[in-house]
Amino acid sequence: MRNLIKFIGLYNYSITFYSLFLIGLYFLVNENIILKSKYFNSSNYISGSIYNVQSSITEYFTLREKNKLLQFENKLLIDRVINFEKDPLSKNDQYDFIDASVINNSIRKKKNYLTIDKGYDDGIREGMGVISNSGVVGKIKYVSKNFSTVISLLNTSYYVSSLISNSNTLSSVNWIGENPEELNLLYVPKHIEVNKGDSVITSSFDSIFPKGILLGQILSIDEDVNSNFYDISMTSSQNFFNLSSVYVIDNKLMEEKKNLETSTDEK
């Protein structure tokens, strides 16, 4: 207590000055509408900026969870659309979809592969088709307990059974190993009318993909080739440069179809 009295006695003029200054400033701001308005506007701006930064930081750290939720919602949407288009009256969905993240991806080689973070324990099996929100990605090649490798659409040895949507013409899609954004459309006869911009979709003939998954659009058509087929190039609907999330297709009727076809071929 003695030290406090000594401190006040030593700095009494300064304490009195700052006390009166603050009281005067309070009355000045409180009674002056213009200053009061500026004060509160400045306070709102500062607090608003702080809240904005705080919100941005919170959104950044919750981005991963939001992406997972969005991926889950997309999976449900794809599931409903594909199974409804397959048979609107059926209650037994033929296709299930397993969401996965891409943890490795090559696009610079002639034979490219991806690695995803789901494996045998998650229901992944060899031969399953892999798609994204944009279109076809590839097919499951090898499976371990927790991971799987995918033969990419950007693989010169991989062919996808396809249809030209406007004419329902059966064809095949393959990559020739050059531009990752362009594919080749093969085995389209010259008597078929084909137009630039026509969509190319999966055919479902190989049981890997449901019918109607987008592969791309026709980019150019060359009729002046010594063949009964067009030389057609097409854009790929899938951008492999920024691929991060995929869906693995589980066709629950695939084995039944394969067994029946094998039995038929043996006779």
pLDDT at 37 over 60: no
User: Does some domain include residue 67?
Assistant: no
User: Does some domain include residue 142?
Assistant: yes
Structural domain count, the chain: 2
Q: pLDDT above 70 covers what percent of the chain?
A: 65
Last residue within a domain, chosen from 36, 61, 86: 61
pLDDT band at 161 (very low <50, low <70, confident <90, very high): very high
pLDDT at 48 over 50: no
Q: Are residues 102 and 231 in the same domain?
A: yes
Q: Are residues 105 and 56 in the same domain?
A: no
Burial of 155 (0-12, 13-18, 19+ CB in 10 A): buried
Q: What would the mean pLDDT of 2-6 be, rounded to a whole number?
A: 60
User: Does some domain include residue 73?
Assistant: no
Q: What CA–CA distance (Å, rounded) separates 21 from 13?
A: 12
Q: What CA–CA distance (Å, rounded) separates 45 from 220?
A: 56
Q: Are residues 141 and 206 in the same domain?
A: yes
Q: What tens digit of pLDDT does each residue of 199-239 get?
A: 999 998 888 999 999 999 999 999 888 889 999 999 999 99
Q: What tens digit of pLDDT does each residue of 120-154 get?
A: 999 999 999 999 988 999 999 999 999 999 999 99
User: Does some domain include residue 71?
Assistant: no
User: Does some domain include residue 88?
Assistant: no
Q: What would the mean pLDDT of 160-178 be, rounded to a whole number?
A: 94
pLDDT at 83 over 90: no
pLDDT at 189 over 80: yes
Q: What CA–CA distance (Å, rounded) separates 146 from 166?
A: 41
Q: Are residues 154 and 235 in the same domain?
A: yes
User: Does some domain include residue 84?
Assistant: no
**Out of 19-33, 75-89, 139-153, 178-192, least confident range:** 75-89
Last residue within a domain, chosen from 61, 78, 104: 61
Half-sphere exposure at residue 242, Cβ-oriented, CA atoms within 13 angstroms: 4
User: Does some domain include residue 81?
Assistant: no
Q: Are residues 147 and 234 in the same domain?
A: yes
Last residue within a domain, chosen from 14, 38, 61: 61
Q: Between 94 and 70, whose confidence is greater?
A: 94
Q: Are residues 44 and 105 in the same domain?
A: no
Q: What CATH number has the domain bearing residue 189?
A: 2.40.10.340
Q: Are residues 183 and 115 in the same domain?
A: yes
Q: Are residues 24 and 151 in the same domain?
A: no
Q: Are residues 112 and 218 in the same domain?
A: yes
**Out of 14-28, 72-86, 162-176, 247-261, least confident range:** 72-86
SS (H, E, C) the chain: CHHHHHHHHHCHHHHHHHHHHHHHHHHHHHHCHHHHHHHHHHHHHHHHHHHHHHHHHHHHHCHHHHHHHHHHHHHHHHHHHHHHHHCCCCCCCCEEEEEEEEEEECCCCCEEEEEECCCHHHCCCCCCEEECCCCEEEEEEEECCCCEEEEEEEECCCEEEEEECCCCEEEEEECCCCCCCEEEEECCECCCCCCCCCEEEECCCCCCCCCCCEEEEEEEEECCCCCCECEEEEEECCCHHHCCEEEEEEECCHHHHHHHHHHHHHC
User: Does some domain include residue 171?
Assistant: yes
Q: Are residues 217 and 115 in the same domain?
A: yes
Q: Are 186 and 223 in contact (CB under 8 A)?
A: no
Domain range holding 13?
2-61
Q: Are residues 134 and 238 in the same domain?
A: yes
pLDDT at 109 over 90: yes
Q: Are residues 12 and 107 in the same domain?
A: no
